[in-house]
Chain A
Amino acid sequence: MLKFPIYLDHNATTPCDPRVVETMVPYFTSNFGNAASRNHPFGWEAEGAVDNAREQVARLINADPKEIIFTSGATEGDNLALKGVFEMYASKGNHIITCNIEHKAVLDTCKHLEKLGADITYLKVKDNGLIDMAELEAALKPSTILIAIMYANNEIGTVMPMKEISALAKKKGILVFSDATQAVGKIPVDVNKDGIDIMAFSAHKMYGPKGVGALYVRRKNPRVKVTAQIDGGGHERGMRSGTLNVPGIVGFGKACEICMNEMETETKRVSKLRDKLETELLKLEEAYLNGDKEHRLPHVSNISFKYVEGEGLMMGFNKEIAVSSGSACTSASLEPSYVLKALGLGDDLAHSSLRFGLGRFTTEEQIDYTIKQVSDTVLKLREMSPLWEMYKEGIDMNSIEWAHH
């Protein structure tokens, strides 16, 4: 039996796995101790639970537990990494290279750092959503201290060439930071093989709770340090003060453990469903896939349905199916997705996009229903679209002098 609404927005957040919740529960009530209370069993128990979770998290990314700094989530991790490196390595230089499809948590932090004297290069991505290695190399300066490139993009799911990026950085003695929020738990991420020095990720994107995440900070080859952005009791090796969110951290650890054990089978199952959805929807006329088809997360598909507006399209089924759109009809700026625009998509195609994010609990029945609903709505709205009519009549839309407002 199909239950509504169907959730296909797993890049926004994921439900907590029931096994995660079960693990967390005792840490709200009986085992409520402060992990920093060193002198009684309540504290010891909490500390033990945090240590265990730290190992589970570290194992998933092949790090040492000591290299894990617990945070409130990836936004905090991004801030701590960028601001922390900028301050810590100020004597070495002030140049940071990032790219124009990073998450706002990275882009806005970079903008903030620019005001404080940072020199930031925003690399443009190619039309497949990947950075051009030659451009990255050309952007390097003697003052470059950090390359900050996301592991996988949140809107189109493209996976950046982290190994190539880090190989280049290593040669020049530059640190590599990656916002890996969308990648960790979904595809194998190995900080050593990938050569990443600092990495932010979050529990709620991998079936863990909201409000907890981690920043990986390398301790060997090289030993990396970031200046704290939250001062206080000196928790987390002095890099992030604040009483640890023990239940959240325990849940995060469990979520990592499950991802580690089940990633391979889950990826196979989910990517098969994603491919079915994508293949069927791309059979529609004038439907286009956004982002590189190959270097991509297994559970995401971003498709533009030309001549239909994304928000209008979602309205056709958003009581039954939850997806998201690159259209920004609701935002005050009326600007469509900057990520899609960065791929060179015209505003019209960006306005026409939907992002489908499948997950652990997505079923084939749900995908079949989604294919039907989305296809039907696209066809219905095209019947109502003056642009579709013009397209069908062979009118060149660039020849029309549109009234921009």
Chain B
Amino acid sequence: MAYSEKVLNHYTNPQNVGTLDKNKPSVGTGLVGAPECGDVMRLQIDVDQATGLIKDAKFKTFGCGSAIASSSLATEWLKGKSIDEAMKIDNMEIVEELHLPPVKIHCSVLAEDAIKAAINDYRKKNGLPELKVEESVIH
């Protein structure tokens, strides 16, 4: 199976790899997937408390090239977005952007889950009610 040019680019030059301080109140962390499934994504957002916009996003991913690319792309998209806008990122947009084949759709689903998990972590830390997410996510 050949990878799309965009997946290859993200794999070769991943954007926003790294770790934010998970103890900071402005940082939300989402850790999704499982080692046994061959995919684990950790996505973090740092929210500007004044504007409510995401000022930084970082990821670390254990997984195939498509999983790495999906999380790299997600962090790019998250920066500068409000929490509400970020909440609306749909996995199918990731699929389209990266031209993921059907067997790799789960990578995009994982990225969407990671975004929502990070947002909920941030909301919880800041005394806001968690938003309902279909998949159960664990921090």
Contacts and interface: CB of A to CB of B under 8 A. Distances in A.
A101 to B, nearest CB: 20
Interface in A314-340: 315-316, 327-332, 334, 336
Interface string B75-111: 0000000000000000000000000000110100110
Given A397-B35, A403-B33, A404-B34, A315 B64 contact: yes
A102 interface: no
Given A332-B103, A403-B135, A405-B135, A384 B61 contact: yes
Interface in A163-192: none
B37 A334 contact: yes
Interface in A334-357: 334, 336, 346-348, 351
Interface of A: 307-312, 315-316, 327-332, 334, 336, 346-348, 351, 383-389, 397, 400-405
Nearest to A319: B8
Given A334-B106, A405-B33, A387 B38 contact: no
Which of A307, A329, A330 has the most B CB atoms < 10 Å from its CB? A329
A340 B104 CA distance: 23
Interface in B52-91: 60-68
B36 A347 contact: yes
A384 B67 contact: no
Contact of A403 (B3, B68, B136): B136
B36 A308 contact: no
Contacts of A312: 11, 62-65, 67-68
A347 B37 contact: yes
What 5 pairs between A and B have smallest CB-CB spacing? A402-B34, A347-B36, A348-B35, A386-B42, A315-B65
A346 B64 contact: no
Contacts of A307: 62
A330 B67 CA distance: 12
Contacts of B34: 402-405
